[in-house]
């Protein structure tokens, strides 16, 4: 049976925009991108965030430009139940919200970008402005992944394109059942989408 997976994308719905999580004691995280690299991280301790744009509160969204996934208790429970081996959940206090939220850190990444079936893949050229990133992915449109390379993971990030948080169909369905998300799910398996 074919397994289907989806990239978590920022939804085009009215919603609050949360800032990058930071330690509750003040200051900032040494590596604010650590929750989007697809690997386990040490417990950062108590975290906090705040809306930098107020709007409708959502059960699941991604914070700021670093795209840190932040979920309420119901959505966090989906990750606990269906993907406990694939994620870390770190409590984060959201200013002005009484409900509990969590940073969702995908702890696995795989070399699984299906370049042949993705609509367009661009890499940094050797003579480009960012020479230290030569050969790395610069842009991927219509991402497709090769499911034969992801073991039994239900949540992960593609190696080299870690900006994409990928979830299984089961995880997607349970989150959609909860509803009120600030995200949508873009299919990354099966034949490429028509232009």
pLDDT band at residue 134 under the 50/70/90 scheme = confident
Distance from C-alpha of 79 to C-alpha of 131, rounded to nearest angstrom? 38
Percentage, residues of the chain above pLDDT 70: 98
**Element of type H or E holding 104:** strand 101-106
Given this model, what pLDDT does residue 79 score?
98
Given this model, what pLDDT does residue 1 score?
55
Domain ranges of the chain: 5-111+142-187
Q: What is the pLDDT of residues 142-195, one digit of tens each?
A: 999 999 999 999 999 999 999 999 999 999 999 999 999 999 999 999 887 776
Q: What is the pLDDT of residues 86-115, one digit of tens each?
A: 999 999 999 999 999 999 999 999 999 999
Sorted by sequence, the CB contacts under 8 Å of residue 40 that are 6+ apart come out as 88, 105, 107
CB-based contact 117:193 (threshold 8 Å): no
């Amino acid at each position: 049976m074919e397994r289907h997976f989806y990239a978590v994308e920022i939804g085009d719905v009215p919603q609050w925009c949360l800032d990058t999580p930071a330690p509750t004691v003040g200051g900032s995280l040494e590596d604010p991108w650590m929750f989007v690299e697809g690997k386990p991280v040490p417990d950062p301790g108590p975290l906090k965030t705040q809306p930098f744009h107020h709007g409708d509160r959502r059960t699941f969204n991604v914070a700021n430009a670093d795209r840190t996934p932040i979920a309420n208790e119901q959505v966090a429970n989906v990750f606990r139940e269906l993907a406990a081996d694939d994620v870390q959940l770190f409590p984060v206090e959201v200013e002005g919200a009484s409900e509990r939220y969590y940073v969702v850190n995908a702890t696995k990444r795989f070399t699984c970008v299906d370049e042949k079936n993705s609509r367009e893949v661009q890499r940094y050229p050797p003579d480009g402005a960012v020479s230290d990133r030569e050969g790395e992915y610069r842009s991927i449109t219509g991402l497709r992944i090769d499911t034969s390379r992801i073991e039994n993971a239900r949540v992960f990030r593609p190696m080299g394109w870690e900006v994409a948080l990928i979830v299984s169909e089961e995880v997607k369905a349970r989150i959609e059942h909860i509803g009120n998300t600030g995200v949508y799910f873009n299919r990354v398996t099966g034949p490429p989408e028509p232009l």
